Structure 1
């Protein structure tokens, strides 16, 4: 084994250690008699109250299943299975949908049928299937059928949140729920090797990151009408909205870069013949029919588009101590709060893209991405609390600013840091033998 390969293996071991350390902070304190509890980043105590959020339940399942996939302790499977039991017994309704918020005893608090939440149900079942947990594959197939029946619209994308009777709550379409559906379908393909899941992921990715982005100079807008027209005025008066702020989110550009890197890893029908433009002002340009940006040797397809989005995230959003929350089309900051999840997604994207660059022999790009991965990792201590759990964000923008913990019931059981470590682990393991 060469010294070069040893370096990649060392990165993999370090990333696996970060993943398991993140899970050890959660286990067993985050486990309740039923479901999971959110832990406070400063004290490590669990939040009081019996409310359980669907997204947090599913993210915790995905976290522990990822630990099992990384050959973690036996309790990773036990903890994931614990969450699956609560998901089916408490969150799932009689019609197959899932309540957004429930009491610990399963009493519904919020019966919203959330598109975003159901995307995470898909992800939870996909990761649990990959981890070999009993009945998870059946749950994955059933949830896929539910999403197809209840959420997939005429464009082949997810529609918006619905009431308990499946009536849409507002005339809205959002990229965020679709992004996480793409994530879930990629994970489902990884777990089952079923082409339908990859097809769904591919369709969503092309629609959001290629077709719709063509009208915004390659940047990704968040909000749309029911006809998938850009709604630039949506929530314009709520710049700090937790889930649907106005403006462009560099964290989501990094997150999409990670998912497109995974599509480059798995998708034999790489869309390198599509006409699309790089982000205006970036190094790339329009992709020609050969998949080459302006004929300058830059590769296209999923890989080229992923690099476009990653570069857009760091060029417009990186501020040395984290990513700004949102910015305007010209790159000027809109909300400068630094969210921990965006930093974590930058870590995962840099890792996944490093592996793809190395696989293509693009060593100059791989070296650049490894340096970004290192720079992002240096900043994680700015968001990790004394208990080892990440704060939600820093405000104001500077590194000495106030830290903000998640509000209960919360949706973030360190899913983003765990996902970043998981992707860093498996991407480093997948690097070719001659990668430095």
Structure 2
């Protein structure tokens, strides 16, 4: 068995989860972020909604891959905390979820985050796939919540809201919508309900096709409330952690993976596709997004964080999540190329997948967990650890291994 054999990717997934279990689980409530150098939990009791949901999705994916019993137990632990602590009202699912809480469920940040709620749906979907108690009901309720509270009539989601559901700013972001697309795809995988697939298609069509056509096929991050490109957004904060200006190669490979999955499911259920007119060739779009990312953003051992349209680097920091998404995208594209009988493309994507796997070694700390980022290529500096309250419990590495496994076994 080679290190990039499908079963080796399953091994990578379970190894990633074993590094988290049981230390990341806090019996007082939820999950704790672990230090990539020591493996010890960071100090503090804050629990971020995105981290809670990503941890649930991680362990549920391990259960999908027929991992040890503790994968399912950890997913159940996470769903229980999601429902008891992040929800402001245990009897009313329409109130959404707090963004940050303490271990006892006391709210720290009551923001109703579109990005966070996309991960709520992903967590429920992955958990429902392995029959975690309450996950199927949570999935259905969250689909309704997104439709009622976040969808803006375009097929996409609006942005962050206050606890009374008033918008915090007239902003639309592709990032929250990308993860909503991911969550709807996972919901389709868990339930077989074609309407979840249609929701994913609508978002992908809007972001990667309609809006991408206005920027020569590239994907801008920021828009106003009318979905017009806002090229000035955060222009004075090029290093913004979550909403930087510029094009993000990492998000291009992430979208390439999602478009490859849409191509996979369209091939399996062509009748469902007819209800979403205008959807083009998802494989072709996926390839174009992948190539745009590697052509403009790939540097030694990672992708530059943000670039101009011509590839000029804005922020050269190389985030681990982008490399992980490259692994998943290349694996999914290799599978789609194989289904088309295109051996040259299959070999090319597998070569990229293996290159990304080799690069990933630089992101692992002494404890085996991933650093957040490396400094820009050609500069001196040490890898950087995540800062609490963190949102990255090695979700991207786990997702990369999960996709490497299931794409390789198809």
Shared fold (TM-score, shorter chain, > 0.5): yes
Question: 2:380 & 2:393 partners in 1: Cα distance?
Answer: 24
Q: How does 1:149-188 map to 2 (within 5 A)?
A: 149-188=148-187
How far apart, CA to CA, are the structure 2 residues paired with 1:345 and 1:61? 19
Deviation at 1:312, TM superposition (A): 0.4
CA spacing shift, 1:213–1:165, aligned 2, 3 Å: same
Counting only pairs closer than 5 Å after superposition, residues 3-402 of structure 1 correspond to structure 2 as: 11-33=5-27, 34-94=29-89, 95-267=94-266, 268=270, 269=273, 301-398=281-378, 401-402=381-382
SS at match of 1:20: helix
* Equivalent residues of 2:300, 2:377 under 8 A apart: no
Q: Give the SS at the match of 1:173.
A: strand
CA deviations over 1:357-380 (Å, ceiling 9, x no partner) = 001101110000000001111111
- Compute the displacement of 1:394 (Å): 1.1
2:331–2:407 contact (8 Å) kept in structure 1: yes
Aligned equivalents of 2:236 and 2:342: distance in 1? 44
| Counterpart contact for 1:258–1:349, Cα < 8 Å | yes
Q: d(CA) in 2 for partners of 1:128 and 1:249?
A: 30
Equivalent residues of 1:396, 1:402 under 8 A apart: no
Report how far residue 202 of structure 1 moved. 0.3
Take 1:132 and 1:273, find their aligned partners in 2: how far apart are those partners?
A: 33
The answer for the alignment partner of 1:293 in structure 2 is none
Give the TM-score normalised by structure 2. Answer: 0.95
Offset of 1:398 from its aligned partner? 3.7
Q: Is the contact made by 1:122 and 1:143 (CA closer than 8 Å) also made in structure 2?
A: yes
Structural RMSD (CA): 1.7
Q: Distance in 1 between matches of 2:14 and 2:151?
A: 35
The equivalent of 1:410 in structure 2 is: 390
Structure 1: any 5+ residue segments left out of the alignment? Answer: 1-5, 276-299, 431-436
Match of 1:287 in 2: none
Is the Cα–Cα contact under 8 Å of residues 382 and 399 in structure 1 kept in the other structure?
no
CA distance in 1, matches of 2:286, 2:361: 27
In structure 1, C-alpha distance between the alignment counterparts of 2:277 and 2:143, rounded to whole Å = 29
Instruction: Write the distance in 2 (CA, Å) between the matches of 1:368 and 1:374.
Output: 10
Match of 1:296 in 2: none
Alignment check: 8 A CA contact 1:172 1:225 kept? yes
State the shift of 1:132 in Å: 1.7
The gaps in structure 2 that reach 5 residues or longer are none
Aligned length: 400
CA deviation map 1:242-296 (0-9, x unaligned)? 1100000000000000000000000223899959xxxxxxxxxxxxxxxxxxxxx
The answer as to whether partners of 1:272 and 1:301 remain within 8 angstroms in 2 is no
Name the SS for the 2:317 alignment partner.
Answer: strand
TM-fit CA distance, 1:157: 0.7
Secondary structure of the residue that 2:369 maps to in structure 1? coil
The structure-2 alpha-carbon separation of the partners of 1:58 and 1:399, relative to structure 1 and needing over 3 Å to count, comes to farther
